[in-house]
Chains A and B, each alone.
Chain A
Amino acid sequence: MSDETTNTKVIVIEDECTIYDVSDFKESVMHHIDNQMNIIFDLSQVSKIDASVIQLLLSSKIELEHKGLEFNLKNCSAKASEFIRSISCDEALLLAIEAPLNP
């Protein structure tokens, strides 16, 4: 899903997203960044996520900020937020884990 009018791309991560997906995930995100798109990551559909994906989200944030674009996380599923909190990345991802957006 994308919002071309506002120059923002919403990327929805679905089901399991792990180290096996990071290469494709990186390519996709880079494509939008190269097109100067702000990106919103929607984690509402996540059933499983791992640390390599969290690292890639952080790396995307750094890249976007470097390019003057916006990074946002939206609708963390319970599984996603639990994992992010368990490895203490919530602050780094600027995520209000205490109150998951989409329990």
Chain B
Amino acid sequence: MDENTQIFVSESEELLEDMEQALLALEASPNDDNLINRIFRAAHTIKGSAGLFGFDDIIAFTHVVENLLDDIRNCLVPVSVDLITLLMKCKDQIVEMIENLNSEDSIEYPEKAELLALLNAFSASSSSDETPSIASVKQVVSLESDNSTGSIYHISIRLGLDTFREGFDPEIMFEQLKELGTITQIKMVQTSIPRLSEIDGENCHLGWELSLDSLKSKQEITEVLEFMDGANIKILSPDSQSKDFIKLINELPEQDSAIGKILLDIGAISPKELQSVLNKQKTQGGLTGELIIEEGLSQEKVVKSAIKTQSKVRKEKQTEREFIRVAADKLDKLVNLVGELVIGSAKITQLAKSRHDIELEESVEEMTQALEDMRETALGLRMTPVANTFNRFHRVVRDIAKSLDKKIRLKITGGDTELDKTVVEKIGDPLTHLIRNSMDHGIETPHERLLANKPEEGTITLSAFHETGSIIIEVKDDGKGLDAEKILSLAKERGLVAKDQVMKRSEIYKLIFEPGFSTAKEINNISGRGVGMDVVRRSIESLRGTVNIFSEPGQGSRIVIRLPLTLAIIDGFHVQVADESYIIPLDSMVECISLSDSQKIEANRHDHIKLRDSVLPLIPLDKNWGINKNQNTFEQARVNLVVVQFEGKKIGVLVDSLHGEVQAVIKPLGKVFDGLRGFAGFSLLGSGQVAMIMDIADLAKSVASKERERHNFTERRTRKRVSMTDILE
């Protein structure tokens, strides 16, 4: 695909996305002219751009769509749900045609003929059911620009002062006007004729105001009257033509033009009229548009429409100036290079320290600070608002609600929250699964909702917000909530949990993320294949994120996804256990504690210590990953404790040394480490040493899992004792 086609594809995709959003909004506000104009403009711009590149199929199809949209704009076709559905399908069709632009094969679009037939059926202006050819489109375009309807022009004529001296006879002017059409009204203007005592009889002061019924365009009339040198002639196009002028203004190529130029291009004023206004502007000042209205050269509404178009184009140009389109891989390369710089900088810092050269250390410190800013900026380039992904779901919700015969509204909050580009791209599919599940299993039918004293329309809220170095994405519904008993019984039936296992409600809910779990009675195309939620969990985990579910029977469910802000470089804390270096993500750290002897003993004997009146579970890294600690006992070792936090739960990580903050470039672990738990990747330190980056979420899970196992073991042992007692009794 060449560069120009890429630009066309990229711009068209944005326009089509905007078109879809506007169509969805139009369903709620069918009389909103701005929305209708937005949709029209999208179709019109795509057609225009397709014309530049010669994409004939797209031109022909969008032309028919545009015709219908024009009818809607002109209130000839009412907005209805069916109409919006048709236009959405047309949008999908254009998307498909654009996607196949690069294909060398001839692509058949089986739905296109039906869509064209429907478009024509809806259209008020077209009776043809044939696909319009490019030639016919061009013919229509040509006819559109021909003002060939009989219209009443208002013409003001003021003859020049030297008209008589130059031997010009106004009779000729009237003969010319009569050739252009019929003068339906005329009034001589006497106000500028001086009294006899003051007049120079050779000076001309004659003028007329007249109405001319003519089939000619304003330009043609202007050209005929142009021979009258020195005369001031204003031709005001008929009121009926204002609509045509406004339409022409809307169809003008979106380039920044002066008001005068816009009105000249559409034929609302003549070059001579524009020149006279510009001359007046030079001497008197003022705005062109205002002067044109003041001089009565064009209708106020036409001028205002031109001003509106000009403002819009300027605003868009301004926006264009604020943004530059950059290929994503270039950004990725930049971030990688910044990563390499970070590693290099760490080496230099270490070297500077070893030289004991204060000046060198200070310079390195300055460079490191600048590099940190650069890193923040480079990572910021990859951040995009989640709204790009969220807005897609309006259509998903609308279509699925219709197919399920339910009334469901999607509410989006925090769409401007920014997230790493890769995460935004990858989160779309899991969110689709979650929303589909909520719609299918969560939200009740309108009848069921009314019986449950709920509004007929269900609501799914999709929200995003920041929380302690992470982004939280929530999918919340006000449906019937999860059925814990049913989930547990199904999990037992499928062998996902032991038959005698006792679980908390929150733990039961998490079972729905297990592979092969589904409570749907029937498999349908929306959800219920039992793979969705498992895929969701794995997709989120692959992004170093976590997913949790909360539910209240009868009230609804809330699925909380926690994602890291970025996948590339993090602020970390360098720790050491034996000879191994580790990095703990700084945003999950709470505090570092040097343990007292008694705490060391406690930590060695148990998996927890008492910290300020609360019990802190511990993760002894040397035991966890089988590290040779080269220390005989914990009592002899100098043990530091790093307290980390995940989802409000605090955990202690036992380490030997604390080295301080580092910028860690996250490098993915190879496939050979697939089974290794508790690491998010690795990073290279300034010394060249490899440091593993701890995955605090995973470590927290392992602690929770161990606690659960211990709890279950204790419970089973207690129950066993009880039953033995029963037998003995």
Residues of A within 8 A of B (CB): 19, 22-23, 25-26, 29-30, 33, 50-52, 54-56, 58-60, 62-63, 66, 83, 86-89, 91-92
Establish whether residues B201 and A56, one from each chain, have CB atoms under 8 Å apart when the complex forms: yes
Residue of B195, B197, B205, B208 near A55 (CB, 8 A) is: B205
- Which of B163-171, B295-303, B483-491 has 4 or more CB atoms under 8 Å from chain A? B163-171
Most chain A CB atoms below 10 A, which of B194, B196, B197: B196
Q: Which of B163, B171, B199, B206 contacts A26 (CB 8 A)?
A: B199
Instruction: List residues of chain B with CB within 8 A of the CB of A87.
Output: 170-171, 174, 206
CA distance A37 to B188 in the complex (A): 27
* CB-CB under 8 A for A52 and B204, given A83-B171, A88-B188, A91-B187: yes
User: Is there contact, CB below 8 Å, between A59 and B195?
Assistant: yes
Cβ-based interface call for B190 (8 A):
yes
B196 touches A55 (CB 8 A): no
Asked if B523 is at the interface of the complex by the 8 Å CB criterion, the answer is no
17 A-B pairs within 8 Å (CB atoms) are namely: A33-B197, A50-B164, A50-B169, A51-B169, A52-B204, A55-B193, A55-B205, A58-B193, A59-B196, A60-B196, A62-B195, A63-B195, A63-B197, A87-B171, A88-B174, A88-B208, A88-B210
Which residue in chain B gives the minimum CB-CB distance to A60?
A: B196
Q: Determine how close the nearest CB of chain B comes to the CB of A31; give it in whole angstroms.
A: 11
Measured in the bound complex, the distance between the Cα atoms of B226 and A92 in whole Å is 26
Q: Which 6 A-B pairs have the closest CB atoms?
A: A22-B201, A63-B196, A92-B188, A63-B195, A52-B164, A59-B196
Which residues of chain A have C-beta atoms less than 8 A from B205's C-beta?
A: 55
Question: Is B186 part of the binding interface, using a Cβ–Cβ cutoff of 8 Å?
Answer: yes
B202 at the interface (CB under 8 A from A): yes
Question: C-beta contact mask, B196-218 vs A, less than 8 Å → 1, else 0?
Answer: 11010110111010100000000
* Contact B194–A59 (Cβ < 8 Å): yes
Complex interface: chain A residues within 8 A of B195 (CB): 59, 62-63, 66
CA distance A62 to B163 in the complex (A): 21
For B196, list chain A residues within 8 Å (CB).
26, 29-30, 33, 56, 59-60, 62-63
A54 / chain B contacts, CB cutoff of 8 Å: 206
- Given A29-B196, A30-B197, A56-B196, A22 contacting B171 (CB threshold 8 A): no
Closest to A26 in B: B201
Q: Which of B183, B193, B194, B202 interacts with A22 by CB under 8 Å?
A: B202
B202: min CB distance to chain A, Å: 6
User: Across the two chains, which residue of chain A brings its CB closest to B206?
Assistant: A55
Interface size class of B (residues with CB under 8 A): 20 to 34
* Chain B stretch 140-197: residues in CB contact (< 8 A) with chain A: 163-165, 169-171, 174, 183, 186-188, 190, 193-197
A97 nearest CB across to chain B (Å): 13
Task: Say yes or no: A62 contacts B190, CB within 8 Å.
Answer: yes
Chain B residues with a Cβ under 8 A of chain A:
163-165, 169-171, 174, 183, 186-188, 190, 193-197, 199, 201-202, 204-206, 208, 210
Bound CA–CA A33/B187 (angstroms): 27
Q: Are B188 and A91 in contact (CB under 8 A)?
A: yes
Give every chain B residue within 8 A of A50 (Cβ-Cβ).
164, 169
Measured CB to CB, the closest approach of chain A to B610, in angstroms, equals: 109
Q: Which residues of B contact A51 (CB under 8 A)?
A: 163-164, 169-171, 204, 206
Chain B residues whose CB sits within 8 angstroms of the CB of A56 once the complex forms: 196, 199, 201
Are the C-beta atoms of A89 and B204 separated by less than 8 Å? no
A62-B190 Cα distance, complex, nearest whole Å:
9
Q: How far is the CB of A48 from chain B (nearest CB, A)?
A: 11
Given the interface pairs A51-B206, A52-B204, A58-B193, the reply to whether A89 lies near B199 with Cβ below 8 Å is no
The distance in angstroms between the C-alpha atoms of A33 and B605, with both chains bound, is: 131
Whole-angstrom distance between the alpha carbons of A96 and B155 in the complex? 25
A86 to B, closest residue via Cβ: B171
- Chain B contacts of A86 at CB under 8 A? 171, 174
Of A26, A33, A88, A89, chain B has the most CB atoms within 10 Å of the CB of: A88
Contacts of A55 in B (CB 8 A): 164, 193, 199, 201, 204-206
Cα A89 to Cα B163 in complex, Å, equals 17
Residues of A close to B163: CB separation below 8 A: 51
**Complex Cα distance A83/B172, Å?**
11
Residues from chain B with Cβ under 8 Å of A52 in the complex = 164, 201-202, 204
A6–chain B nearest beta-carbon distance, Å? 21
Chain B residues with CB under 8 Å of A60's CB are: 196
Contact of A19 among B187, B193, B202, B208 (CB under 8 A): B202
- Distance in angstroms between the alpha carbons of A17 and B689 in the assembled complex: 113
CB distance from B665 to the nearest CB of A (A): 87
CB closest residue in chain A, given B171: A86
Residues of A within 8 A of B188 (CB): 88-89, 91-92
Taking the closest CB of chain A, its distance from the CB of B154, in whole angstroms, is: 15
B201 is contacted by which of A19, A33, A88 (Cβ under 8 Å)? A19
A58-B193, A63-B195, A88-B174 given; 10 more Cβ-contact pairs under 8 Å: A26-B196, A30-B196, A51-B204, A54-B206, A56-B199, A56-B201, A83-B171, A87-B171, A88-B186, A88-B187
Nearest Cβ on chain B to A16's Cβ, whole angstroms: 14
Residue of A nearest to B195 (CB): A63
Count chain A CB atoms within 10 A of each CB in B165, B186, B188 and give the residue with the most: B188
User: A41 to chain B: closest CB distance in Å?
Assistant: 12
Residues of A within 8 A of B206 (CB): 51, 54-55, 87
Give Cα distance in the complex from A83 to B100, angstroms: 71
User: In the complex, what residues of A have CB within 8 A of residue B165's CB?
Assistant: 19
Q: How far is the CA of A89 from the CA of B395 in the complex (A)?
A: 68
Q: How far is the CA of A56 from the CA of B202 in the complex (A)?
A: 9
Measured in the bound complex, the distance between the Cα atoms of B206 and A86 in whole Å is 14
Please determine whether A62 and B169 come into contact, CB atoms closer than 8 angstroms: no
